[in-house]
Amino acid sequence: MASDSDSDSGSYVSATPPRPSHPPTPIPPSLNSSVRVSSRPKPKQRTKPAPTKKSTRNVSPHSERRCKEKLRSSKAQDVADLNNKPESESEAQSKPNPDPGRDGVFFSNQENISIRICKPESSSSSSNFTSSFARLVKLRRPSFDPALEFKADAPDPIQAENFAQNQVKSKQTKRLHPNLIRVEAPISGPFDQLKRPKLHNEGNFVRLNINGYGRKPSFRNGKRRYSAGGGFRRKKWTGKKSNNGDKEDDLSGLDGIFEKQKGQPKLVKEVEEAVEAVRKDLSEENLRNLLKLSHGFDLFREGQLEAIKNVVLGKSTMLILPTGAGKSLCYQLPALILPGVTLVVSPLLALMVDQLKKLPPVLPGGLLSSNQTSEESLETLNRLRSGEIKVLFVSPERFLNSEFLSVFEDNLTTSLVVIDEAHCISEWSHNFRPSYLRLKASLLTKKLNVKCILAMTATATSETLDSIMKSLEILPNNLIQKSQIRVNLQLSISSSENRSKDLLVLLKSSPFVGMKSIIVYCKFQAETDMISKLLCDNYIKAKSYHSGLHAKERSLVQELFCSNKIRVVVATVAFGMGLDKSDVEGVIHYSLPESLEEYIQETGRAGRDGRLSHCHLFLDTTTYYKIRSLSYSNGVDEYALSRLLGQIFSDEVNLTGGIQSLLKEATARKLDIKEEVLFTVLTMLEIGEEQYLQLLPQLKVTCSLSFHKTSPHLLADKYMLIRSILNLSEKKGGLYVFDIPSVANILGLQASEVLDQLKNLKLSDEITYELKDQAYCFKLVKRPDDLFALSARLTKWLSQVEICKVQKLDIMYKVANFALKECKGDSGCSGFLHTSCIQEHIIEYFSNKQMTIGDECNNAMKQHSPFLHADMKSFLKNNSSVKLTPRALARIMHGIPSPAFPSSSWARNYLWGRYVEIDFQVVLEAAKIELMNFIKKSTEQS
């Protein structure tokens, strides 16, 4: 609960519900040599070293074997380490992925970068590649100055980088506005001259300087960095209920929030007047006038005006606009007009910070997330109470908690709740977040008396849409949906057996060589580090970005990128949703995205200035298998879930409101259920069909304490807390070890109050203590009538979500594969360019039309291997003392790490990951049979 949603990944469970079955289209056998699944994956030890076709150095058979050995274990570790992270959106973590399963030789260079020398695919693959892109530029970018266009073999991109650097230094100017945490002015580099053509239909992608009001910087870094509002915040606006309680009609409530600021009285006055005019007459003209004054834009973009009018009129609205279309404006303008506070729920901290920074100066903003210290959140809550905040960004975990709600009991009015990236509400989306489940209309109305909700997303299938609108009670009439296609993106795709080499070629080819901002998306954290190093070694200024980095490092990378001080960011999915850098000209998918939604979100970072931009995808089947396999890492058996529920609702646990805790790590290991899954189950028990418990903030619950100044018994006379600790603790090595929730329950306190008291005693040097064992905390509300029925329901739900996740990945793969292998170029596709066919499939997918590509993605995966059963038998025989479930056995065969079978202990087994290319369900069924046989045999023998 306390964990916030600022991590990179969405959720680990995400998918669309089973789609209607389509006639299967067989995948051409010629797809790629690696698509064919051999009947038995060769034991890696026995593989003969493949003849080296080309190498930059001689590799002796001996060293080659050693190298292969090393890579084999590295691959095992690689697959093993792919831990899905919560938020997932869920980024997996792995070591770099050498791919020893095919022809070719790997070696590591001095910098430890694994490089594979492949058989040349065709004599001129790279030059084809280059020329194809060059052709593309000639065709599509008429305003390119050939003199400025860098070719693949152009002399020196480093010079260009250095030049850009110098430009950065010389041209940097600071422009600050009140909601800015830190701003770097846009910097022009040498490539600025490479004007990308504006498309005819790019609409009014007008870039105006919204910060350029000559405002005094009112922000500083450090603790008060979110103290938005600048000069506009001194006097409270009366978004509070008026005395007559008629808060909805109290439109005069805004009066006074635009207090005069030195140097700005004219603008403030004008905005105030424009707001008043809109309140009197909600006409397009008045709204346009306000838009111009508040944001500096001349025109509304498609869908904006309609959405703004709806919201101002109090109609809950579902808004689907493409990436970069300007959804944020659809709550910013209403926030100016409506009397109370606008609450914006966002899934990622980085996204919230970014949006806070981008609020126009006339809109004071604030932020609440679980990552803040208690002092920081207290400060924000106080500012909210005192009327200094007009737009508050809240993480879903903080939303509706008691501390948050207490502020709204003080007569504060919420005019609007905005659910950004609303697809996170739906388990059928690519990025479901359990914490979003608490954003139900019924709860929002009950707890905040909210009348109007605005849900926004760029990516929602019809199933996702249905579930969002149902849960937020949005009427079908209030759906505003525009095409999810971005017309200014050129989509290209190529298959790759050596992605790092191909990536370098691509980046040194036109048009990518001339781009000043590029994002390369990878699946795994280690991959981003490896690729960014590779790029730097090749004189391309790059940095990696993933959730494994410290928050400060991440924001530094983002800042450097946004100020054009680095050219390429190599990132996981962590760097995506909501990133609004207008001049990203290229997005490269080094790894296959997990769904078309993810593809759209990530490619949507490019061309946000409306200019033609390029997105390239490398399709590599090994990565597809790996990601597909990992999609099964969250599966749970009904038996394990029953045990979990039995533990939560055990008879010893009372329903009298005491705090209960569930140790995260120990429970995950005992039941072999990932921590994220445990949290989802707990969330479902809180906000599913019925409320069985109430989640409390997560805590470290085990405390080891020692006394210093005063003796324990004397201190116990003085403090109730110490008395209870002495009663409840166990003495271990001179330390008093106890459980925080138990002490809190005895004293009738909240766990946080116990911690506060301990902190005070520590400050007075009476005690020192250490906390460990992170736990989920909750209070029981109701015991389920039938635990078994409940666990069956939850297991079914989790498995449906898992199936949908795999389906999404399969569809993404099929669309890419179709472009590569089956596209006949009828709709204008040619060479690597497949904009038309990819877009057609995206439209089909989102409109839930029958997809024109087959539904059976990879029939070969569904086939049995004749050796699977034999290998399982031998594994069971060799590990007879290990307690295994069919799922655990199948996971080992697939190389999927789990809490009870981590890669650190199991990846060295020669069968680890051997069957990753066989469908997990097939392996699971085989595991059930073999485990039953094994148990039967063992019982007969004993």
Ligand X SMILES: Nc1ncnc2c1ncn2[C@@H]1O[C@H](COP(=O)(O)OP(=O)(O)OP(=O)(O)O)[C@@H](O)[C@H]1O
C-beta closer to ligand X: residue 197 or 296: 296
Say how far apart CA 114 and CA 112 lie, in whole Å: 6
Residue 204 or 654 with smaller CB distance to ligand X: 204
Structure tokens, 915: 């069957």
Site for ligand X contains 297 (CB under 6 A)? yes
Check residue 209 for interaction with ligand X (CB under 6 A): no
**Cis peptide bond upstream of 511, omega within 30:** yes
Under the criterion CB under 6 A, does residue 929 sit at the interface with ligand X?
A: no
Contact residue for ligand X among 204, 706, 905, 938 (CB under 6 A): 204
- Residue 461 CB, shortest distance to ligand X, in Å, is 16
Matching residue, tokens 């076709």: 53
For the bound state, the minimum distance from the C-beta of residue 627 to ligand X, rounded and expressed in Å, comes to: 23
Q: In the stretch 602-641, what mask flags binding to ligand X with x, by CB under 6 A?
A: --x---x---------------------------------
Contact window for ligand X (CB under 6 A) among 298-306, 721-729, 797-805, 855-863: 298-306
Q: Does 391 bind ligand X (CB under 6 A)?
A: no
Rounded CA separation 322/325 (Å): 6
Q: Which stretch binds ligand X (CB under 6 A): 129-137, 326-334, 772-780, 876-884?
A: 326-334
Give the nearer residue to ligand X in terms of CB position, either 237 or 300.
300
DSSP-derived 3-state class of residue 667: helix
Q: Is 41 in the site for ligand X (CB under 6 A)?
A: no
Does the protein bind ligand X through residue 273 (CB under 6 A)? no
Q: Phi and psi at residue 185, in whole multiples of 5°?
A: -70, 150
Which residues are registered as beta bridge partners of 905? none
Contact of 354 with 346, CB cutoff 8 Å: no
To 10 degrees, the CA torsion angle through 391, 332, 90, 599?
A: -170
Task: Closer to ligand X by CB, 383 or 608: give it.
Answer: 608
Between CA 472 and CA 461 the distance in angstroms is 16
Question: Which residues have a Cβ under 8 Å from the Cβ of 852 and sit 6 or more positions away?
Answer: 840, 841, 844
Residue 702: strand pairing partners: 739, 772
DSSP H helical segments within 318-420, as ranges?
A: 329-337, 349-358, 374-385, 402-409
* Cα 435 to Cα 370: distance, rounded to the nearest angstrom: 13
319 binds ligand X (CB under 6 A): no
Question: Which C-beta is closer to ligand X: that of 491 or that of 744?
Answer: 491
Assess 326 for contact with ligand X (CB under 6 A).
Answer: yes
Return d(Cα 606, Cα 582) in angstroms, integer. 8
The residue among 94 and 304 lying less far from ligand X, judged by its C-beta, is 304
**Beta carbon of residue 127, minimum distance to ligand X (angstroms, whole number):** 35
430 binds ligand X (CB under 6 A): no
Cβ nearer to ligand X, comparing 457 with 622: 457
* Site map 452..491 versus ligand X, x via CB under 6 A: ------x---------------------------------
Residue number, nearest CB to ligand X: 326
Part in contact with ligand X (CB under 6 A); list of ranges 317-325, 489-497, 685-693, 825-833: 317-325
Q: Which stretch binds ligand X (CB under 6 A): 292-300, 547-555, 584-592, 670-678?
A: 292-300
Cβ 73 vs Cβ 908: under 8 Å: yes
Which residues ranging from 804 to 863 are in contact with ligand X (CB under 6 A)? none
Tell the smallest beta-carbon distance from residue 194 to ligand X (Å).
Answer: 21
Give least dist CB 919 to ligand X, A. Answer: 34
> Does the protein bind ligand X through residue 324 (CB under 6 A)?
yes
Torsion angle defined by CA atoms of residues 716, 719, 720 and 724, in that order, rounded to the nearest 10 degrees: -40
Q: Please spell the DSSP secondary structure of 807-835, one letter per residue.
A: HHHHHHHHHHHIIIII--STTS-BTTB-H
In this chain, which of 206, 378, 666, 870 binds ligand X, going by CB under 6 A?
Answer: 206
Site stretch for ligand X (CB under 6 A), options 266-274, 574-582, 683-691, 755-763: 574-582
Instruction: Report the alpha-carbon distance of residue 784 to residue 648 in Å, rounded.
Output: 11
Count residues binding ligand X (CB under 6 A). 21
CA distance 142 to 757: 70
Single out the segment in contact with ligand X by CB under 6 A; choices: 296-304, 429-437, 618-626, 855-863: 296-304
| Residue 348 found at the interface with ligand X (CB under 6 A) | no
Give yes or no for residue 293 binding ligand X (CB under 6 A).
no
Q: Which is nearer to ligand X, 571 or 648 (CB)?
A: 571
The residue range among 8-16, 367-375, 578-586, 719-727 that interacts with ligand X, by the rule CB under 6 A, is 578-586
Asked if 897 interacts with ligand X (CB under 6 A), we say no
> Residue 424 interacts with ligand X (CB under 6 A)?
no
Which is nearer to ligand X, 41 or 604 (by Cβ)? Answer: 604
Of residues 327 through 346, those in contact with ligand X by CB under 6 A are 327-329
Distances (CA, A) of 660 to 288, 437, 776, 793, 796: 54, 22, 8, 24, 26
CB of 586 to ligand X, least distance (A): 16
Give least dist CB 834 to ligand X, A. 22
Category of 104 on φ-ψ map: left (φ > 0), alpha (ψ -120 to 50) or beta: left
Q: How far is the CB of 280 from ligand X (least distance, A)?
A: 23
Which of 93, 323, 464, 660 binds ligand X (CB under 6 A)? It is 323
Q: How far apart are CA 561 and CA 579, in angstroms?
A: 11
Q: Which is nearer to ligand X, 580 or 925 (CB)?
A: 580
Q: Provide DSSP, 711-778.
A: -HHHHHHH-HHHHHHHHH-EEETTEEEEEHHHHHHHHT--HHHHHHHHHHHHHTTSEEEEEEEEEEEE
**Distance in angstroms (rounded) separating the CA atoms of residues 423 and 316:** 16
User: Are 172 and 160 in contact, with CB atoms under 8 Å apart?
Assistant: no
DSSP class of residue 611 equals B
- The answer to whether residues 119 and 104 touch, using CB atoms and an 8 Å cutoff, is yes
- Closest distance to ligand X from the beta carbon of 190 (Å): 24
Q: Which is nearer to ligand X, 608 or 614 (CB)?
A: 608
CB of 422 to ligand X, least distance (A): 11
For CA atoms 660, 663, 667, 673, give the dihedral sign: positive
Find the part of the chain contacting ligand X (CB under 6 A) among 154-162, 300-308, 592-600, 881-889: 300-308
Nearest distance from C-beta of residue 642 to ligand X, angstroms = 41
- Our CB check for ligand X shows the closer of 178 and 326 to be 326
In the complex with ligand X, the residue whose CB is nearer, 324 or 396, is 324
Out of 164, 187, 274, 321, the residue judged to bind ligand X by CB under 6 A: 321
Comparison of 328 and 680: residue with beta carbon closer to ligand X: 328
Least distance in Å: CB of 608 to ligand X? Answer: 6
Q: Is 923 exposed, middle or buried (0-12, 13-18, 19+ CB in 10 A)?
A: buried
- For the record, the structure tokens of 696 come out as 């409390």
Q: Which amino acid is at 207?
A: R
Residue 152 or 584 having the CB closest to ligand X: 584
Identify the helix (H) or strand (E) that includes residue 493. strand 489-495
If one asks whether residue 139 binds ligand X (CB under 6 A), the answer comes out as no
- Separation of alpha carbons 699 and 659, rounded Å: 11
Q: Is the dihedral of CA 812, 813, 819, 822 positive or negative?
A: negative
What ranges in 818-915 are assigned the alpha helix state H? 835-846, 859-862, 868-878, 886-894, 903-906
Shortest distance in whole angstroms from residue 686 CB to ligand X: 29
Residues of the shown chain interacting with ligand X in the complex, contacts defined by CB under 6 A: 204, 206, 297, 299-301, 304, 321, 323-329, 458, 578, 580, 582, 604, 608
